[in-house]
Amino acid sequence: MTWLLCDYGEVLCVAPPASDRAALTRAAAWNPARGDFWQAYWADRPAYDRADLSVEEYWTRLLGSTPPAAQLDELIAADTAGWLHPNRPVMAAAERAGHRGLRLAILSNAPVEVADRIDEAPWLAAFSRRFFSCRLKAVKPETAAYRAVLDALGAEPGEVIFFDDRPANVAGAAALGIDARLFRSATQLDQLQRSRDELSERHG
């Protein structure tokens, strides 16, 4: 059995559009004197994705003070909304790969609040297995994240084709023997039949 394991952000979904980015900045009531909002947004994101920080702790660090409950709710809603825009050409290509016999799975760095909303997305129904860093307690490119996925799938590294848009994440997976590829376009997923045949021959 061969698995097609896909990153989520900027692979299966597109990057948050400008309107969502603006909504999140407004919700944060960001003071430009504190520097660049997006640099601050990403600074503690790995710890939030790993569930080392709660959502309140994450936003408190980012804003420099604990946000009131109403503002925290607004921040969560704006943040999660930005990550729920499907990359339709990639989704279509992934579903075609599934019809050709590949099993579909997701491996994403995502905090609890985002992961829960992704799990609710009906357009991801073809992906039978979903793995999120907040539940694995490990983020890509940490070895523990990939090992946990392999164990859960009951798969050998050579039975998994992995796509991610970040070179470091691809390198981390490749170091374990996973067939890891840097994502560029949906066309790559449509070209996987040859890769599947090669894997079948290799594991003959």
pLDDT tens column, 19-54: 999 999 999 999 898 899 999 999 999 999 999 999
pLDDT tens digits for 118-156? Answer: 999 999 999 999 999 999 999 999 999 999 999 999 999
> What is residue 78's predicted lDDT score, i.e. its pLDDT?
98
Output the CA angle 203-152-147, nearest 5 degrees.
75
> What is residue 58's predicted lDDT score, i.e. its pLDDT?
98
Tell me how far apart the alpha carbons of residues 168 and 184 are, in angstroms, rounded to a whole number.
Answer: 15
Q: Give me the domains of the chain, ranges plus CATH numbers.
A: 3-14+85-203 (3.40.50.1000), 18-82 (no CATH)
DSSP string over 26-72: HHHT--GGG--HHHHHHHTHHHHHTTSS-HHHHHHHHHSSPPPHHHH
174-181 mean pLDDT: 98
How sure is the predictor about 194, in pLDDT bands with cuts at 50, 70 and 90? low
Pairing of the two strands 3-6 and 103-108: parallel
Helices (H), the chain: 18-28, 37-43, 45-49, 55-63, 69-82, 88-99, 112-120, 133-136, 143-153, 167-174, 187-190, 192-203
144, 136 contact by CB (below 8 A): yes
Tell me how far apart the alpha carbons of residues 198 and 192 are, in angstroms, rounded to a whole number.
Answer: 10
pTM above 0.75, yes or no: yes
pLDDT tens digits for 65-114? Answer: 999 999 999 999 999 999 999 999 999 999 999 999 999 999 999 999 99
In sign, the C-alpha dihedral spanning 83, 137, 146, 142 is positive
Half-sphere exposure of 137 (CA within 13 A, CB side): 1
> What is residue 1's predicted lDDT score, i.e. its pLDDT?
78
Q: 100 by DSSP, 3-state: which?
A: coil
